[in-house]
């Protein structure tokens, strides 16, 4: 969400969805579903879990969208929901002793034209620690502020800055290794 036009359109979709316009809600979900999936995939490292978490998140978002008081805060608000669902999934999995920490390759994801150029970034992010990849995704790909990321992640903004610093270092190292 880098430009004003996209932000304004997104806010309009939220307002219309809150008013009960089904077409606006469908468009809103189509615009964000892929982002939620990629976020969950980076956090969980499992395509199946990411699909489940994305669906659960979309259900939660649709049920509570009318309660959102500021349409401009939709990105932060919705990613907070996705983050909570990711944490819930991880807790449930760890409790059941089924959590497998193996890295999986990125799956074949239906690519929309507007995210096609992000695939190499997604591949690099998949090689990173999920917390660091999450910070980079929210900061660069979703254009959230440090404070917004802190609220989504439920950590102090200083921790976000520190993680962002290390994530950039790691990304640079990965890029250098890929070009050797």
Q: What is the pLDDT of residues 144-165, one digit of tens each?
A: 889 999 998 888 999 999 888 8
- How far apart CA 42 and CA 20 sit, in angstroms, is 32
Q: How far is CA 151 from CA 35, 107, 113, 156, 166, in A?
A: 18, 29, 30, 8, 19
| Residues near 138 by beta carbon (within 8 Å), at least 6 away in sequence | 39, 79, 144, 148, 149, 152
Predicted TM-score (pTM) above 0.85: no
By the 8 A CB rule, do 1 and 142 touch? yes
Q: What are phi and psi of 129, to 5 degrees?
A: -55, 135
Domain, as residue range, for 36: 4-178
CATH number of residue 53's parent domain: 1.10.1740.10
User: Measured between alpha carbons, how far is 9 from 75 in angstroms, rounded to an integer?
Assistant: 13
Segment 11-38, tens digit of pLDDT = 999 999 999 999 999 999 999 999 999 9
* Residue 123 region by backbone torsions, left for phi larger than 0, else alpha for psi between -120 and 50, else beta: alpha
Burial 132-162 (b: 16+ CB within 10 A, else e): bbbbbbbbbbbebebebbbbbbeeeeebbee
Domain count across the chain: 1
Instruction: Tell which residue, 42, 13, 43, 18, has the closest CA to residue 28.
Output: 13
Over residues 76-131, the pLDDT tens digits come to 999 999 999 998 888 887 665 433 333 333 344 444 444 444 556 777 777 888 88
């Amino acid at each position: 969400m880098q430009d004003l036009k996209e932000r304004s359109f997104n806010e309009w979709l939220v307002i219309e969805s809150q008013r009960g316009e089904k077409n606006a809600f469908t468009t809103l979900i189509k615009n964000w579903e892929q982002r939620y999936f990629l976020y969950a995939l980076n956090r969980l490292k499992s395509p199946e879990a990411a699909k489940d978490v994305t669906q659960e998140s979309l259900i939660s978002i649709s049920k509570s969208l009318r309660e959102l008081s500021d349409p401009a805060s939709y990105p932060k608000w919705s990613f907070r929901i996705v983050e909570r669902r990711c944490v819930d999934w991880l807790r449930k999995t760890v409790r059941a002793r089924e959590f497998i920490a193996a890295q999986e390759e990125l799956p074949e994801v239906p690519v929309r034209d507007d995210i096609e150029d992000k695939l190499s970034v997604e591949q690099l992010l998949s090689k990173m620690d999920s917390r660091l990849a999450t910070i980079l995704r929210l900061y660069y790909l979703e254009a959230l502020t440090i404070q917004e990321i802190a609220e989504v992640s439920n950590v102090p903004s200083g921790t976000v800055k520190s993680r962002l610093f290390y994530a950039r270092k790691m990304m640079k190292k990965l890029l250098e290794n890929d070009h050797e």
